[in-house]
């Protein structure tokens, strides 16, 4: 039997996929590189050969998260008016965040961005790409694009706190009109 060795690029891709779940569980500050390496089935030393430090690894994971969001936006882009296109993109995003790991990673990334410059840069770059895409694909004005992203942020917050399962006026108010899993 011939054993095929993976390339560093293949292993890097595998680590990024695995790291999404690892970081989603406990966030940037609560997850160690030992845990990521173990989940990926590699040594911590090899992890550091692929990614020079934890900040670089997490920033790459955040970048991968934004790539997945952009991909969902692109696949969901339909409609003949700005509002219709943004609505369709929003529906694609709502389906995507059914992946709780992706949703949790987004939340953790935004928290870590407050104090880790590399992560802040990755979050900014991701949003820059998404906003540019939403604006260009929809033809919507700045106010409509801002409202689209504000609605998406509220959707993420509502889902993470489980507001749809709460039978209370405040929860119904926050959840009213949102599309989410």
Are 123 and 110 within 8 A, CB to CB?
Answer: yes
When divided into structural domains, the chain yields a total of: 1
pLDDT at 39: 93
At 73, which CATH number? 1.10.357
180 part of a folded domain: no
pLDDT per residue of the chain (181 residues) written in tens, 0 to 9 = 555 546 878 888 889 999 999 999 999 999 999 999 999 999 999 999 999 999 999 999 999 999 999 999 999 999 999 999 999 999 999 888 888 899 999 999 999 999 999 999 999 999 999 999 999 999 999 999 999 999 999 988 998 899 999 999 999 999 998 876 6
pLDDT at 178: 83
pLDDT at 160: 87
103 part of a folded domain: yes
4 part of a folded domain: no
pLDDT at 177: 87
Range(s) of the domain holding residue 168: 58-175
21 part of a folded domain: no
17 part of a folded domain: no
8 part of a folded domain: no
47 part of a folded domain: no
pLDDT at 18: 92
11 part of a folded domain: no
């Amino acid at each position: 039997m011939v054993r095929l060795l993976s390339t560093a690029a293949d292993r890097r891709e595998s680590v990024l996929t695995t790291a999404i779940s690892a970081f989603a569980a406990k966030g940037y500050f609560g997850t160690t590189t030992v845990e990521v390496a173990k989940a990926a089935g590699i040594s911590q030393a090899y992890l550091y050969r692929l990614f020079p430090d934890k900040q670089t690894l997490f920033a790459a994971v955040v970048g991968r998260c934004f790539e997945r969001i952009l991909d969902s936006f692109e696949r969901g882009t339909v409609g003949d008016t700005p509002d219709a296109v943004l609505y369709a993109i929003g529906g694609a995003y709502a389906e995507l965040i059914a992946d709780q790991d992706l949703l949790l990673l987004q939340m953790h990334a935004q928290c870590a961005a407050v104090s880790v410059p590399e992560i802040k840069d990755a979050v900014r770059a991701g949003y820059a790409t998404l906003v540019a895409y939403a604006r260009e694909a929809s033809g919507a004005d700045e106010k409509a694009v801002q409202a689209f992203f504000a609605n998406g942020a509220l959707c993420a917050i509502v889902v993470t706190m489980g507001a749809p399962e709460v039978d209370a006026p405040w929860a119904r108010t926050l959840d009213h009109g949102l599309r989410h899993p």
